[in-house]
């Protein structure tokens, strides 16, 4: 038996803050309370003056992703290690089958890549095409492989884009299975047309990227996906909500009682679209991601949405491409691989710009960095809290620890950092993954393959309530005699 006691800190969950010790035995939290007795030989971690938080959950990452003719530079070991340095102990990554590839085959391939992960991981599975094998494989993934969420890209025409027919088919099947539908909301037809028009008007550099994906493109797709989900009676989760247009669609639906969840990326809260006008092509290209960075009024609205609970989770969409990879689009912004890093920096950036500014309380910080994701994706209280029986994914958080973010010192496998030069206060002092210390004194001690796959059971209550709402309470068909045919 391996035991650790974290002493003297303030334990923070999404519900409360309290001065308490935490006893960890092997990979589980054993006890939380004042003056917890330490077993003989237990390791003692002094958390005096610090917060003790649940390990972060990043519900949106792309490690080792094959995309746009290249493969993301971050693999599952380097990515989960970098995440641990920032206080994140669980990621939910994405299996993205190629068109016509069996989704079960793609899932098995991604599981193989992820065996090197240093901390825990799970998967959403993307639906990129449709036939009966996809329908069958969705059932197998839910029932036998612990998958309870499916991703739908409404962008990337001629590649992985879902049209309305695929959305309706997949959403309907997900409802049958008790699975959650997640959506990348951008109108792919509009993006495809605008990209061509913008390029032909002479915008060949990174500044063409946001011009081809204006907020209206995201707002339209968000509203369409939400309305389809409403008609079919299935809960929906919008990834990387980046603009007022999409936020308003989410807020309207939630205020109407619809089961809609939405995430915001840390970088969309603090970086604006001026980055695309940087005269250094390489610098500007590193900010090419979809949806793109928006103007400052969208940032202000997103913060308010997070504070108001209209946005429930924070993520990174961590998808790293180094400078030589970005340069595939040096003459055509449409060919720049889309993606930015940030899995190491999410929690520090959110603490500095959220908690220290008064926008978020420590408990609200825990909610948006771990607890809400755990609840939405059905791994709570195994993850997302500190309570007896929970996994011992814990961060000793030093609210006064300062750091200047830089590609020269980060642990992410990319030669650029979108937060370069940003000084933040509040960082992970110690990170435990399943009870093992993996980050301490600014040193990583992660072990390749130590991470475990997290099964996520399908849902019941969400779907039962939607059935009652959308019900199946249709009126009885009207009985009539068949009329004579008019001559």
d(CA 404, CA 383): 29
* Residue 338: C-alpha distances to residues 120, 137, 155, 432 (Å): 25, 28, 12, 32
Alpha-helical segments (H) within 233-360: 244-255, 266-270, 281-285, 296-308, 323-326, 346-350
pTM, two decimals, is 0.96
Query: Residue 391 gets which letter from DSSP?
Result: B
Query: How confident is the prediction along the chain (487 residues), in pLDDT tens digits per residue?
Result: 799 999 999 999 999 999 999 999 999 999 999 999 989 999 999 999 999 999 999 999 999 999 999 999 999 999 999 999 999 999 999 999 998 999 999 999 999 999 999 999 999 999 999 999 999 999 999 999 999 999 999 999 999 999 999 999 999 999 999 999 999 999 999 999 999 999 999 999 999 999 999 999 999 999 999 999 999 999 999 999 999 999 999 999 999 999 999 999 999 999 999 999 999 999 999 999 999 999 999 999 999 999 999 999 999 999 999 999 999 999 999 999 999 999 999 999 999 999 999 999 999 999 999 999 999 999 999 999 999 999 999 999 999 999 999 999 999 999 999 999 999 999 999 999 999 999 999 999 999 999 999 999 999 855 665 555 555 667 888 888 888 888 7
* Sequence-ordered list of residues with C-beta below 8 angstroms from that of 163, at least 6 positions apart, any chain: none
Name beta bridge partners: 256.
Answer: none
Dihedral sign, Cα of residue 395, residue 399, residue 400, residue 403: positive
Task: Give the bridge partners for 437, in sequence order.
Answer: 432
* 162/427 Cα distance (integer angstroms): 39
Chain centroid to CA 411: 20
Task: Report phi then psi at 285, rounded to 5.
Answer: -65, -30
Give CA separation, 68 vs 72, 160, 208, 240, 338, in Å. 10, 11, 17, 20, 8
Report d(CA 203, CA 151) in Å as an integer.
31
């Amino acid at each position: 038996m391996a035991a650790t006691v974290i002493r003297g800190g303030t334990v923070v969950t999404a519900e409360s803050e309290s001065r308490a010790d935490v006893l960890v035995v092997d990979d589980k939290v054993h006890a939380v309370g004042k003056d917890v007795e330490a077993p003989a030989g237990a390791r003692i971690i002094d958390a005096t003056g610090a917060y003790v938080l649940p390990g972060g959950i990043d519900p949106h990452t792309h490690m080792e992703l094959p995309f746009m003719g290249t493969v993301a530079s971050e693999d599952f070991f380097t990515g989960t290690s970098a995440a641990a340095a920032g206080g994140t102990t669980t990621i939910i990554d994405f299996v993205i089958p190629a068109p016509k590839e069996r989704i079960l085959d793609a899932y098995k391939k991604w599981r193989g890549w992820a065996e090197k992960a240093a901390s825990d991981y799970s998967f959403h599975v993307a639906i990129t095409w449709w036939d009966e094998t996809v329908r069958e494989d969705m059932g197998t993934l839910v029932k036998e492989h612990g998958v309870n969420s499916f991703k739908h890209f409404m962008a990337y025409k001629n590649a992985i884009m879902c049209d309305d027919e695929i959305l309706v088919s997949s959403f309907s099947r997900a409802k049958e299975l008790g699975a959650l539908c997640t959506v990348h909301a951008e109108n792919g037809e509009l993006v495809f047309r605008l990209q061509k028009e913008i390029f032909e008007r002479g915008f060949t550099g990174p500044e063409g990227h946001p011009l081809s994906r204006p907020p209206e493109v995201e707002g339209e797709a968000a509203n369409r996906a939400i309305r389809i989900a409403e008609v079919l009676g299935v809960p929906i989760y919008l990834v990387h909500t980046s603009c007022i247009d999409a936020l308003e669609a989410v807020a309207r639906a939630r205020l109407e009682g619809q089961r809609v969840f939405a995430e915001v990326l840390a970088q969309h809260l603090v970086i604006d679209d001026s980055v695309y006008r940087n005269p250094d092509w390489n610098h500007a290209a590193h900010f090419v991601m979809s949806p793109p960075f928006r103007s400052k009024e969208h940032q202000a609205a997103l913060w308010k949405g997070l504070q108001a609970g209209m946005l429930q989770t924070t993520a990174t969409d961590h998808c790293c491409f180094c400078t030589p990879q970005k340069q595939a689009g040096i003459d055509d912004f449409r060919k720049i691989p889309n993606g930015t890093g940030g899995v190491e920096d999410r929690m520090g950036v959110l603490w500095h710009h959220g908690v220290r500014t008064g926008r978020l309380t420590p408990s609200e910080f825990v909610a948006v960095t771990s607890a809400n994701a755990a609840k939405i994706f059905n791994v709570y209280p195994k993850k997302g809290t500190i309570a007896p029986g929970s996994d011992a994914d814990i961060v000793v958080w030093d609210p006064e620890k300062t750091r200047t973010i830089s590609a020269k010192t980060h642990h992410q496998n990319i030669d650029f950092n979108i937060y370069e030069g940003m000084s933040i206060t509040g960082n992970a002092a110690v990170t435990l993954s399943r009870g093992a210390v993996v980050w301490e004194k600014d040193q990583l001690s992660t072990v390749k393959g130590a991470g475990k796959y997290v099964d996520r059971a399908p849902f019941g209550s969400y779907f039962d309530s939607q059935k009652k709402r959308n019900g199946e309470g249709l009126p009885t068909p009207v009985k009539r005699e068949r009329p004579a045919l008019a001559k």
